[in-house]
Structures are given as C-alpha cells and as structure tokens.
Chains A and B, each alone.
Chain A
Amino acid sequence: GAGVSQSPSNKVTEKGKDVELRCDPISGHTALYWYRQSLGQGLEFLIYFQGNSAPDKSGLPSDRFSAERTGGSVSTLTIQRTQQEDSAVYLCASREGTVNYGYTFGSGTRLTVV
C-alpha cells in the first residue's frame, strides 16, 4: 500500500484481557518499529525488526509485551493481561533501509484499558 497501515485504529479492552495490534508496513521496507505514546507524553521506543529478526527489544516494558514479524512484512504486537497503564497510542513505522530515506509512521492504534 501507499503507507503504513495499522489496525484496529481504536481498541477498548477490559483489564486483564489480551490484545493484538497489527502493523502492515510499506511493501519492501525491511525495517519495522513499534513505539507507544501515552497521553501528553513523548514517543517511547518498544521494539524493532530487521526482516523477521528483532535485534533490539530493549524498549518492551515487561514480559507481558511481545511482538513478531512474519514473511518480512506484517507485524503483530501482543499485550497479555492488559493493565490500565498500557493505555496509549501504539505507533508502527517502517523504513526501506538506506540513509537516504526517512521513517514512515502509521496513524496508530489507540488502546484504552478499562
């Protein structure tokens, strides 16, 4: 597609439930990134993929958070046993992989844990 697509755009879940957030990067982009942004806060890096491998998982806040990428394309971020502090906008970005291109972000998934 023309841009990075994220689904769902909004998700309301009950505390303790598991959620899956999906990211479709731009076709051919080898690198994929997940960030989150809590209300009124800055962007917090979570994890990045190069192909299907995740060289940097340092930003995942707890073992309730995991992510995978298959076929060098779609990625899924899973949050288990959601807590209220997980409420945020989860943003995905992708990049072709050269110094001459910027990172393209999706519009995000707004997660609300009630």
Chain B
Amino acid sequence: DAKTTQPNSMESNEEEPVHLPCNHSTISGTDYIHWYRQLPSQGPEYVIHGLTSNVNNRMASLAIAEDRKSSTLILHRATLRDAAVYYCIPHRSGNTPLVFGKGTRLSVIA
C-alpha cells in the first residue's frame, strides 16, 4: 500500500474554504485516491475518489496533482458539521480493503 502523509490537524473558520492536503508519493499508476471522513462517534463516511482528473460532487472537490503524488480535498464552505477526521487513502481498483492512516483532524470554528 502507498504511504500517505497528512497534517495531524487543521483548523478553519465556518463558511470559509478548506484545503486538506495529502502526499502519496509512492502511489502506483492504478491506485485510485479515496477520501473518507469520520465524524465523532460515527463510522467513516465516503467523501470522494478519483484517479487522474479533478472530481467534484455535492460534498467536496478533489484536486489531483499532475504527477499524482499529492492531492487536495477541498471543502468549499466549511460548516460545523464538517468537523471530523479526514482520511486520504490510495487504493487499487477491486474490493481489497481500505487501509486507514491517522488522517487529519479538522476543527471548524464558529
């Protein structure tokens, strides 16, 4: 599995954009980049995933570097409900298990 590096914690003001970085320099060419988040006392929740092109959905945007060695999860307007631990997970296609690292704990300040 590719090794990932994420900041231990980040802080954002409510209603401002948040950019959560992830380095995955050992990612293989066929690994997708998945992002999950875990709110307090809940199971992880799927946020977004992509392979090469930037991706958008109703929750977030995913910007993937051209060399694929890093990616950034973008929350366009942080809300208090977005306070969670965010995990960046390189994952090859198929049903092999996700391997979770320590993630980034995002705090949102009202």
Contacts and interface: CB of A to CB of B under 8 A. Distances in A.
Contact of B42 (A33, A35, A45, A107): A107
Interface residues of A, number: 24
Given A91-B43, A102-B34, A102-B46, A42 B95 contact: no
A49 to B, nearest CB: 9
A33 B43 CA distance: 13
Contact of B95 (A50, A91, A104, A106): A50
B46 A42 contact: no
A7 B44 CA distance: 17
B97 A105 contact: no
Given A33-B98, A102-B36, A105-B43, 7 more contacts: A45-B98, A91-B44, A102-B46, A102-B49, A103-B44, A105-B44, A106-B43
Contacts of A26: none
Interface in B3-21: none
A59 B101 CA distance: 15
9 contacts: A33-B98, A43-B100, A45-B97, A91-B43, A102-B34, A102-B49, A103-B36, A105-B43, A108-B42
Interface of A: 4, 30-31, 33, 35, 42-43, 45, 48, 50, 56, 59, 91, 93, 95, 97, 99, 102-108
A46 to B, nearest CB: 9
Contacts of B97: 33, 45, 48, 56, 59
Contact of B98 (A56, A103, A106): A103
